[in-house]
Structure 1
């Protein structure tokens, strides 16, 4: 059997059955571990690690079916299984007998006999249990367990609702002036000839950037920002209440303090101060950039107030009118079937790896599979799936997902299997999938995650990328974005889908010169989300929708959409990034600092790329992230490159 292929041919109910059997088998192994008369690091702490590793190896690929399977019944089955699994794991790491066994093993094993990585495993394992309330009296511990189980179910449901959303906006032909022909060709049509715009980024973004009618843009944005509101708002409010109660029970001032304890910031105040300082630094740039967009609207003959649904349109018009950049024309130079191999070629040169496409036999015919090997040894080191186009019920944004987590300890070894999931415009009517430059940047971002997941070589599976501090985990992905702004890379990355020509040099120069166009607006938008997330997790009893409106108004300087329900689709705060969204901007500072070495020594320098692979990617979570950055840079990290990248 091909161990690198992900099984997908399930019958309804089969994934739930698999999960129930897996839970029963895991319970048997836990019972044997706890019953051991003599407990030490190797048979108890490493033994528990082996049990969790085996569990994840079997559950991760079936859980993934919730995000990508073509059958609604199978996706629902995987959703049920995810609920079963998440509540089981909460209960497992809340068990007093298991905690006592692990604690006994830790206490009876001399620290001097353990390697630094083994000591780290022991400390992190025990910390996970303590963060589930194992130091609390039984009644409070049981309450923590019950609340965490409920929270896990809420988060799964929130994501499932967004994935299954089918909201659309119907736009008459008279109201769609400005939309590119390539975009219109792939839209569905209604019975009266109206264009059907789906509430998916692959439809919403090109619509908002190009359609001239403000009323039509308002309509599409209104649908986009209100999707799943009736279903997800109650889930989010309940989740916030649960997190606040959990913080009280576990002895933390706020959930943000609980969340940041295991991140680089270590506490909520550090994260909050970072956001406040960044707001101060960005404010003049945002004011300048917003004024430029407002002035452009009035210069184009409008006397209407500037609104939220104007931002993307006039930012795109600014590129056209001031910088002579037509985003839709640029899209024609980035067919996906050219971008993918060029990105793989860059990764090969930088990181010393090779990619070979092999038959995928996957959950959808458009999915591709690449075997990854080390260029020097020829040894296979992992496999990567790509699932790039939207379909009903599929996860609606872009992500990188592990399907098998790597580890290598003695004879125990597993190679990683990962998937990059996106929602780019699919091929249609003989035209290939064409990516905007922004989508190319998104693809590079997710591929940065994939390289981290593929090249990490931890001794223990829990010390792979899944264990990396969540305000550092975005560093490899955001660093990878820089290559789409390199002139030489853009020359090789682009190929017009009709005549095969690369982007003209003068157009590339204009694109690079306009890199920071409206950057104050886009970065402040990120700050809105980071501030909203942090405020919801440090203050009690807030209404998420009204809080978002207040923050948006204060930071962006314009009125938000009147009926916006944006928090109901803010998947990050129900998907592991709660009190952690600030990490995108925090990570950007480290990403730009690390990239400064490539800028200085060559953006395709294989020596620097291999050093980055060995120093930053391969360790996973076996060392603190700050130490990895220091070693690669040869100094303390600083914000100089980050400040420059913001256009400040």
Structure 2
């Protein structure tokens, strides 16, 4: 029988994934073989008769399982970006196998004994900073995941981990299925009143694809957001809002309530088993914040500053809606609609005026130009490597000398097989081995407004900042320059990982940057100065409410993971209401539940970490202040940022890296000023 190509070194250009040649039937067998090979490598380390050293134990461990990691990256990235029932079924089969293998490694006594021997001798080993970090990380990887537990507790841990891996997959599958199954079918043209032409065209196209008359609005962001922002029909906004906010909360086969309760209880049990008070205590030990108390204090301090502003903004919005349409009580389905109307009134600015200046291709070129000005990167679109879908764009990234830096995949439009939101991911990490600097393969995945028959993809300003955000993560991956794969690129403390992404968003508000790419898609006219001024002026519009919303998500996350015991929680909805009580502006809607589709914390890696968006905002506002002091395209500051942050991955403590770049610790005032929450 022919060898499975997933278990071989790829014989492709740049060693990229041969997507078109991979059949779904390959995966299960490839995973089993990959696990078997990785186990043999682990056995090679534990059976080595030589005294444990950094090289034969710690380094060998970090480079083990390379092919298995590669298979996992390809498979799970596709499960997010281009999934189907077959892939989801395989995911449910392989997740327990991977969880079991992971436990086999961390609970391997002979292996831990060797790691511990090296760790105990660390002061005499003359290690580099990166090696010290790796040693510390490997040791903690064992000690924090059960290596010191007695055998019966190790077995219990294995069972918990296996169940958790399956539950989070099921959670995500349910959210995706809920998103895909709903459609608001409109047959009366009057119900489209207020919608921009592009949104109407998109709804028409969706209906045609589904072989229906009229127009179809879906729960995909590029369809959902314009409807909620512009549709005059309040009843239909309500209908769509209820569908969107009740995903996983309909007491049917796609319900996530029990899954949420099981996940939080299992996480708590796991933390207790390992000697931690809560899941949050376990997670935050390896974050800049260090413990739940710091996070809660941080969020509540921000809440104190943001709440008065948010309350004021909400009252103004309420007053405006009453004046305009006689609305007595603002509801959640009114939020985007009246915010947009008020923004138009105050700033004479709306997305429809801006969108013609943000053709997707121009924004892509803009972000590439900015990366070139700051970091000397060049992007060349290439068509000689495989892609997993026709929508995907592929680029070769080089430096000013023409040296190969990275492969970059970009996937921008919604599909049935793609989960919502936007993210950056890695198909192959960067590392140095045998004298060679092996370069990474990086990808960003978004859900932007599609081109229609008559118009190219024109982005909302929010989509522009999203593209810059994900591209900031991509730069972190592309510019990685570390020795060890597990410390490379975005492998950093979770509350530091958002710094590169969030700092890049700042360029979207600067005249010097916008003039590089914001040109009218029909006339080629550069975005007028008055629109740039309005973008800047409106940047802090309703920022108090926005901040309150982010804080509420952070507090909800902490309420699930830092509380005494989730055993006593019987109602997801009641628990959520309690968590939201200090941040609530709109009346509660009985049919809605945030937690049942809160994929960041129940499917992604943000459990006990959602606060990090706000935490990193403190860092990014302070970092951008530095750029502004010297010049937003300052090579000096950009080089310091690249050398001390982007290229360093997780090789050192993030605060040490940040201070090396900035010369001091970050000041929260920069964020509060930028948000307009304190005087400049």
For residues 87-139 of structure 1, the C-alpha deviation after alignment (integer angstroms, 9 at most, x for no partner) is 42233222223212322343456634322221221111010111111112222
Q: Note if contact 1:167-1:223 (Cα within 8 Å) is conserved in structure 2.
A: no
Matches of 2:117 and 2:363 in 1, distance apart?
54
Q: Return the match for 2:182 from 168, 173, 188.
A: 168
Q: Which of the residues 10, 13, 17 maps onto 1:6? A: 17
Work out whether residues 363 and 518 of structure 2, in 8 Å CA contact, stay in contact via their aligned partners in 1: yes
Alignment of 1:136-535 (within 5 A): 136-164=149-177, 165-172=179-186, 173-187=189-203, 188-189=206-207, 193-229=213-249, 230-359=254-383, 360-375=385-400, 377-535=401-559
Preserved contact between residue 420 and residue 450 of structure 1 (Cα < 8 Å): yes
Distance in 1 of aligned mates of 2:541 and 2:341: 11
The one of 659, 662, 667 aligned to 1:633: 662
| 1:528–1:552 CA contact under 8 A, matched in 2 | yes
- Tell me how far apart the structure 2 counterparts of residues 79 and 163 of structure 1 sit (CA, whole Å): 15
Deviation string 1:581-623 (CA, Å, 9 cap, x unpaired) is 0010011000111111111111111221122111111111001
Distance across 1 between alignment mates of 2:581 and 2:234: 20
User: Which residue of structure 1 lines up, in the alignment, with residue 139 of structure 2?
Assistant: 126
> Secondary structure of the equivalent of 2:582?
helix
- The CA RMSD over aligned residues, in Å, is 1.8
Q: Distance in 2 between matches of 1:160 and 1:606?
A: 45
User: Are 2:592 and 1:592 aligned?
Assistant: no
Change (3 A) 1:364 1:255: same
TM-score by length of 1: 0.96
Give the corresponding residue for 1:40: 53
More off after superposition, 558-567 vs 509-518? 558-567
> How far off its partner does 1:527 sit?
0.8
- Partners of 1:350 and 1:83 in 2: CA distance: 44
Of 589, 613, 638 in structure 1, the residue corresponding to residue 642 of structure 2 is 613
Query: Normalising by the residue count of structure 2, what TM-score does the alignment of the two structures yield?
Result: 0.92
Q: Distance in 1 between matches of 2:345 and 2:82?
A: 43
By how many angstroms is 1:83 displaced? 4.5
SS at match of 2:459: coil
Report Cα offsets for 1:27-62 as digits up to 9, x if no partner.
Answer: 111112111112221111111111044432343123
Q: 1:194 to 1:528 in 2, by over 3 A?
A: farther
C-alpha separation in 2, matches of 1:446 and 1:126: 32
Rounded to whole Å, the distance in 1 between the matches of 2:498 and 2:84 is: 31
Distance 1:191 1:601, change over 3 A: same
Paired positions, count: 647
Rounded to whole Å, the distance in 2 between the matches of 1:245 and 1:111 is 38
Provide the residue aligned with 1:572 in structure 2: 600
Residue 176 (structure 1) shift = 2.5
Structure 1 residue 76: Cα displacement = 4.0
Q: 1:151-185: per-residue Cα shift (whole Å, max 9, x none)? A: 12222222233334413232533323111111111
What's the counterpart of residue 113 of structure 1? Answer: 126
CA deviation after TM superposition for structure 1 residue 82, in Å: 4.2
Residues 554 and 139 from structure 1, CA distance in 2 versus in 1: closer, same or farther, beyond 3 angstroms? Answer: same
C-alpha distance in 2 between matches for 1:346 and 1:621: 25
Q: CA offset at residue 328 of structure 1?
A: 1.7
Write the distance in 2 (CA, Å) between the matches of 1:450 and 1:136. 38
8 Å contact 2:423–2:444 — kept in the other structure? Answer: yes
Task: Specify every segment of 5 or more residues in structure 2 that has no aligned partner in the other structure, as ranges.
Answer: 1-11
Give me the whole-angstrom Cα distance separating, in 1, the residues matched to 2:405 and 2:306: 42
Distance 2:627 2:268 in 1: 43
CA contact (8 A) 2:559 2:579 kept: no
The gaps in structure 1 that reach 5 residues or longer are none
Alpha-carbon distance, 1:417 to partner: 0.4
For 2:370 and 2:129, the matched residues in 1 are separated by: 34
- Does the 8 Å CA contact 2:424/2:442 hold for their aligned counterparts? yes
Contact 1:615 1:632 (C-alpha < 8 Å) held by counterparts = yes
